[in-house]
Chains A and B, each alone.
Chain A
Amino acid sequence: MNSAISKKRRVKTAVLNVLVYICAGIMCLMLTGIIGYILVRGIPHITFGLLTSKPSLINDTAGILPNILNTLYIIIMTLAAVLPIGVGAAVYLNEYATNKRIVRIIELAAETLSGIPSIIYGLAGMLIFVQFFSLGTSLIAGALTLAVMTLPTIIKTTQESLKTVPNGYREGALGLGAGKWHMIRTTVLPSAIDGIVTGCILSIGRIVGESAALLFTAGMANEILGIGESVMPGKAGSTLTVALYMYAKERGEFDTAFSIAAILLILTLIINLAAKLAAKKLRRKEN
Chain B
Amino acid sequence: MKNLKKSIDVPEKAMNAVFALCGFLAVAFVLVITVFLVISGIPAIGKIGITDFLFGTTWASTAAQPQYGILPFILTSVLGTAGAIVIGVPIGLMCAVYLAKMSVGKSTAVVRTAVDLLSGIPSVVYGLLGMIIIVPLVREIFDLPDGANLFSAIIVLAVMILPSVISVSETAIKAVPKEYEEASLALGATKTETVFKVVLPAAKSGILTAVVLGIGRAIGEAMAVMMVAGNVANMPKLFQSVRFLTTAVASEMSYSSGLQRQALFSIALVLFVFIMIINLILNFVVKRGDSNE
Residues of A within 8 A of B (CB): 4-5, 9, 12-13, 16-17, 19-24, 26-28, 30-31, 34-35, 37-38, 84-89, 91-93, 95-97, 102, 105-106, 108-113, 115-124, 127-128, 132, 148, 151-152, 155, 177, 179-182, 184, 205, 208-212, 215-216, 241-242, 244-245, 248-249, 254, 257-258, 261, 264-265, 268-269, 271-272, 276
Report if B183 contacts A (CB, 8 A): no
Contact A245 B127 (CB under 8 A): yes
Name the B residues within 8 Å of A184 (CB-CB): 15
User: Shortest CB–CB separation between residue A268 and chain B, in angstroms?
Assistant: 4
Contact B20 A92 (CB under 8 A): yes
Contact A31 B220 (CB under 8 A): no
Name the A residues within 8 Å of B98 (CB-CB): 20-21, 23-24
Report if B118 contacts A (CB, 8 A): yes
A115 to B131, CA, bound (A): 27
Inter-chain contact total with CB atoms closer than 8 Å: 247
Contact A181 B11 (CB under 8 A): yes
User: Shortest CB–CB separation between residue B69 and chain A, in angstroms?
Assistant: 20
* B contact patch SS: helix
A61 to B115, CA, bound (A): 37
Which of A19, A112, A132 is close to B94, meaning CB atoms less than 8 Å apart? Answer: A19
Report if B140 contacts A (CB, 8 A): no
Report if B187 contacts A (CB, 8 A): no
User: Shortest CB–CB separation between residue A174 and chain B, in angstroms?
Assistant: 11
Name the B residues within 8 Å of A31 (CB-CB): 114, 117-118
Contact B279 A123 (CB under 8 A): no
Nearest residue, chain A, Cβ from B33: A124
Which of A30, A89, A117 is close to B221, meaning CB atoms less than 8 Å apart? Answer: A117
A215 to B114, CA, bound (A): 29
Which of A9, A92, A210, A261 is close to B22, meaning CB atoms less than 8 Å apart? Answer: A92
Report if B95 contacts A (CB, 8 A): yes
A139 to B193, CA, bound (A): 55
